Amino acid sequence: MTWKIPLFKLHSDSKDINAVSRIIKSGMNWATGDDIVFFERELAAYAGVKYAVSFSSGTAALHALLLALHIGKGDEVIVPSFTFISTANAVLFVGATPVFAEIERETFGLDYKDVERKITKKTKAIIPVHIGGLACKIEELKRVAEKHKLLLIEDAAESLGATIKGKKVGSFGCAGMISLCGPKVISTGEGGAIVTDSRDIYEQLRLLRSHGRADTKDYFKTTEYLDYIQLGYNFRLSNILAALGRTQLKKIEKLITARRKNSAYLSQQLKNIHEISVPTEPKNNRHIFQMYIVRVGGGKNKRDALQKHLNEKGIMAKVYFPPVHLSQFYKSKGFKKGHLPETEAISNEVLTLPMFPTLTKHEMDFMAKEIKAFFHE
């Protein structure tokens, strides 16, 4: 289907095109190269941490991070069910057990009170998720983690640039995961990274992403033997994509400003529709609006009917997120409806509307008009 208003549009300019062309024209630096090094330095500086390690995807980055932290069989990791499935799957990748906890309504992040109830002697880590560009209650979760001597791993896949009291998400725990795939605020098409202040985590991640090889030099430019010192994977981000990441990162604040402006305008158009709750920005938080998520009164049937109405009008509205624990795969592991009543109730209310920097007032007016028409038919 050709959407009149898609859910997202990737933003690019001549600088992005020139950066990618420069690497292609080099004739040999497509896989590895200096742009990876520079991108990682620039990303770490932006995130307010000492180190960043790039990966082929956010999922690969989270997988490698759990391995670097020696999480495995017999360990439990507390995660939300209101997230993209990779948050929970990464725990399974390393042989550990995901334990689902409830979320709270203000930020859609993990409810720190329920997290504390789910802690057992087997719990090794907590993975809170910053949903759609808004920081979760990470300070409260950090206190819980420190009290119980647990690792705090931030899934900041959707929220690079979001802050609490000026501090960037991804810098509160031992490490944070960033995604650079399609609909994110900045994108390399596919890609991800881990940001951290830990030198040990940084060194382990560099080994894990490249077959356990000690990359003291560029593998494709040297004739020297670079030894393999542990088991690793092929999780590298290419130099082509790193070059694109660098030019994307240079304009991230401009893109965030445009998203915030558009979100404010759309909220103004929707605020008087009593059946709709527009997203809010808690005090001391900066919401970057990677997604624009509304809550629809009346439950799942009303929400689904609104989605169908908008889709039929060419507006790409989508549900983010159906609960992970109710997917076919996790139900086969024994999870069922009623396991997380608050998460399930919230998931039945949410609907994500189109949001991107170049969204026009005309397009937002059209969305608001169709939402009003639906509720006043």
Residues found in the chain: 377
Burial class (CB in 10 A: 0-12, 13-18, 19+), 70: exposed
210 forms beta bridges with 234
What are the angstrom distances between the C-alpha of 196 and each of 171, 277, 316? 7, 35, 36
Q: Where are the alpha helices (DSSP H) in 193-334?
A: 199-208, 239-250, 252-270, 299-312, 328-331
Q: How many CB atoms lie within 10 A of CB 120?
A: 8
Contact residues for 97 (Cβ-Cβ < 8 A; gap 6+): 75, 76, 77, 91, 122
Amino acid identity of residue 246, one-letter, is: R
The phi and psi torsions of 48 (rounded to 5 degrees) equal: 80, 30
Select which of 137, 168, 184, 313 is catalytic.
184
DSSP code string of 275-301: TEE-----TTEE---SSEEEEETTHHH
**Residue 142 is among the residues annotated as catalytic for this protein:** no
Radius of gyration of the chain (CA): 21
Q: Residue 375 and residue 179: Cα distance in Å, rounded?
A: 36
Q: Residue 157 and residue 79: Cα distance in Å, rounded?
A: 14
Active site residues: 184
